[in-house]
Amino acid sequence: MQYSIDQNLTRINAAPTSLKQKVYFNLQKSIIELEYKPGELLKKQELCKEFGISRTPLSEAIALLMQDGLVEVVPQAGTYVARLSMDDLHEGAFIREALEIAAIKLLAGIITEPQLVKLRRNLRLQRVFIDDEDFQGFYALDAQFHAMLLDFTGFDKLSRVADSAWINVNRVRRLLMPIAGRVEETYQEHVEIYGTLERGEPTKASNALEKHLRKLMTYISPLEKSHPEYFT
């Protein structure tokens, strides 16, 4: 699989081939990046005008977003961006952690030099984006780093399951951007994870990754109080 730094936070493995898919991926990206806030009304007429489409592909795209848990339709009221649920976030983080830890334990014993090169390149770009204070770009690279850990196992279904579980965590992570030092801290944790893989240390790799993923939830949990309007 080829990787690029402008990939969405939920990875798209193939280019959209239909109008429905194009609208779906664009709206999904906007919701994940909080351009549309949790609880915000999606105005269908304005969206049709923005995309230059009829209501049919928009309705089809919204149906896909409902399957993702990103929107909800309220009868007689409209279509809204789904609010966040702390229970869903904890469940998604639990699933992702289980998959990534299993993956990295395997990967530490089989990772190849070309795969290490891709991870090193990603880390170099992370450093550049941090120095440039391009946090949107950094988060795309962060997502790419974790995607590679799953993809390098050779198990294709891992990524799809992990992406589905993580989709709402990706939304809420955007609220962490203003937290001083978190981006640099995340980068250093990635460097530590890479080092354990390079040295072929499965136990240290899984411990470093577990610490990294669980630390994220310690930052996310207080957001329910600081941004109550975004949560159910």
Report the percentage of the chain scoring pLDDT > 90: 84
Question: So what's the pLDDT on residue 178?
Answer: 64
Going by C-beta distance under 8 Å and a sequence separation of 6 or more, which residues neighbour residue 15?
none
- Give the CATH H-level superfamily of domain 86-230: GntR ligand-binding domain-like (1.20.120.530)
pLDDT band at 181 (very low <50, low <70, confident <90, very high): confident
Please give the structure tokens belonging to residue 45.
Answer: 């007429």
Question: So what's the pLDDT on residue 172?
Answer: 92
Question: So what's the pLDDT on residue 180?
Answer: 72
**Mean pLDDT in residue range 1-16:** 45
Which range in 11-15, 109-113, 171-175 is most confidently predicted, on average pLDDT?
109-113
Torsion of CA 105, 7, 129, 86, to 10 degrees: -70
Long-range contacts of 11-18, Cβ-Cβ distance < 8 Å, separation of 24 or more = 11/143, 11/144, 11/147, 11/159, 11/163, 13/159, 18/57
pLDDT band at 179 (very low <50, low <70, confident <90, very high): confident
Give start-end residues of each CATH 1.10.10.10 domain in the chain. 19-81
Question: So what's the pLDDT on residue 83?
Answer: 97
Residue showing tokens 């949990």: 221
14-64 pLDDT, tens digit per residue, is 455 789 999 999 999 999 999 999 999 999 999 999 999 999 999 999 999
Give start-end residues of each CATH 1.20.120.530 domain in the chain. 86-230
Evaluate if residue 69 carries a pLDDT over 50.
yes
Evaluate if residue 11 carries a pLDDT over 70.
no
The fold for domain 19-81 equals Arc Repressor Mutant, subunit A (1.10.10)
Evaluate if residue 5 carries a pLDDT over 90.
no
Q: Say if residues 61 and 27 touch (Cβ distance below 8 Å).
A: yes
Question: So what's the pLDDT on residue 174?
Answer: 85
